[in-house]
């Protein structure tokens, strides 16, 4: 069955998010909608897929809700693989976990919304382009010459950008027009308002984010100043915007932009991994994770007991040199000891029959 992946958001007051959640779930589940949707008193943030033959019916169902009527849909440029496997609608304190005290600044005082043509022109005129995504999202694609935050959280990225802009002013460098962009535009709403509150008034933002920028450049025959892939928060992980490869394999350093998760469940960290390294390391990030991942499932389950996921602390591997050093060290130990996990001997003996 053909499906269409899309996203939308709107900052709007929702009187009873839980009641709305239950109503939406009943209606959307009947349509075969899959996805991840967050509701809060401040609005909605949705990433989902809908059967293509139900697209208009879904559009009509969304518009029936007065709070969502006419909300712009950002349609994915690629539809390969399964973006979502089930429907999840959650009520949260915020539709984006930004860690900001919204009452401390005017969240409606946002930057100028710019379409793709204007965004391109402002770049050519010398604007400072800033990526408002996390560090691992920037790895596989970004706008030419953009400042790429080192932070791995949205709150961290906002503070980092504010400090960079403040430092430039203090050093007397002057600050040109600032252009913000993110995946679908929602983070730039908060980021632009926050920066304007701190005195940076000349701020613009890419309306609809990278997702709608890709649609516009394709529809209008524009040159894409965004290079590579766009990181997305669904099963696809990325959708290609241009054929440019702007990253390298985290493990071997060859040009590559295939992003994936380490398949060892207690790791699950994101990394850029070429096909050769995927084969060599069994789709894992290191020999240590490979050794666990290739064990019988029952042994893996025993080994995982009481262990948390590394990705709960950090989402991605962003220091390739450190990883390559770890790989060399683990390969040496493996050649000497035959294992990187001596505790597996007792686990295997108690788990596997006749071992």
Q: Active site includes 274?
A: no
Please say whether the beta carbons of 35 and 86 come within 8 A: no
- The active-site residue out of 182, 267, 274, 289 is 182
Per-residue tokens: 310: 């590394």
User: In the β-sheet with 128-131, what is the strand arrangement from edge to edge?
Assistant: 112-114, 203-206, 178-181, 128-131
Please say whether the beta carbons of 177 and 205 come within 8 A: no
> Quick one: the chain helix, strand, coil %, rounded to 5?
40, 20, 45
- CB neighbourhood size of 334 (10 A): 15
* Helices 297-304 + 344-351 axis angle, to 10: 120
Instruction: Say how far apart CA 164 and CA 191 lie, in whole Å.
Output: 14
> Which contiguous run of DSSP H or E holds residue 270?
strand 270-272
Catalytic residue positions?
A: 182
């Amino acid at each position: 069955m053909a499906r269409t992946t899309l996203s939308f958001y709107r900052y709007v007051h929702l009187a009873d998010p839980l009641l709305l959640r239950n109503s939406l779930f009943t209606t959307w589940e009947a349509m075969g909608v899959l996805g991840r949707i967050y509701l809060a008193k401040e609005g909605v943030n949705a990433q989902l897929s809908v059967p293509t033959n139900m697209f208009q019916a879904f559009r009509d169902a969304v518009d029936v809700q007065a709070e969502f009527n006419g909300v712009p849909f950002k349609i994915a440029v690629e539809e390969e693989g399964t973006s979502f496997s089930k429907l999840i609608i959650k009520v949260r304190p915020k539709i984006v976990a930004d860690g900001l005290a919204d009452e401390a600044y005017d969240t409606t005082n946002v930057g100028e919304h710019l379409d793709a043509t204007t965004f391109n022109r402002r770049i050519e005129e010398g604007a400072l382009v800033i990526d408002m995504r996390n560090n691992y999202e920037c790895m596989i694609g970004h706008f030419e010459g953009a400042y790429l935050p080192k932070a791995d959280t949205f709150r961290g990225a906002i503070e980092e950008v504010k400090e960079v802009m403040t430092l430039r002013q203090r050093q007397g460098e002057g600050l040109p027009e600032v252009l913000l962009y993110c995946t679908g535009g929602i983070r730039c709403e908060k980021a632009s308002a926050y920066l304007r509150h701190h005195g940076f008034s000349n701020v613009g933002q890419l309306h609809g984010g990278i997702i709608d920028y890709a649609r516009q450049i394709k529809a209008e025959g524009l040159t894409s100043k965004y290079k590579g892939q766009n990181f997305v928060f669904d099963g696809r992980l990325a959708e290609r915007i241009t054929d440019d490869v702007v990253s390298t394999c985290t493990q071997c350093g060859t040009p590559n932009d295939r992003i994936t998760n380490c398949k060892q469940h207690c790791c699950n960290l994101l990394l850029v991994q070429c096909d050769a390294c995927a084969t060599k390391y069994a789709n894992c990030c290191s020999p240590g994770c490979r050794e666990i991942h290739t064990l019988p499932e029952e042994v893996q389950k025993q080994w995982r007991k009481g262990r948390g996921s590394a990705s709960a602390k950090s989402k991605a591997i962003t220091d390739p040199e450190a990883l390559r050093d770890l790989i060399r060290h683990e390969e040496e130990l493996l050649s000497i000891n035959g294992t990187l996990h001596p505790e597996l001997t007792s686990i295997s003996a108690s788990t596997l029959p006749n071992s």
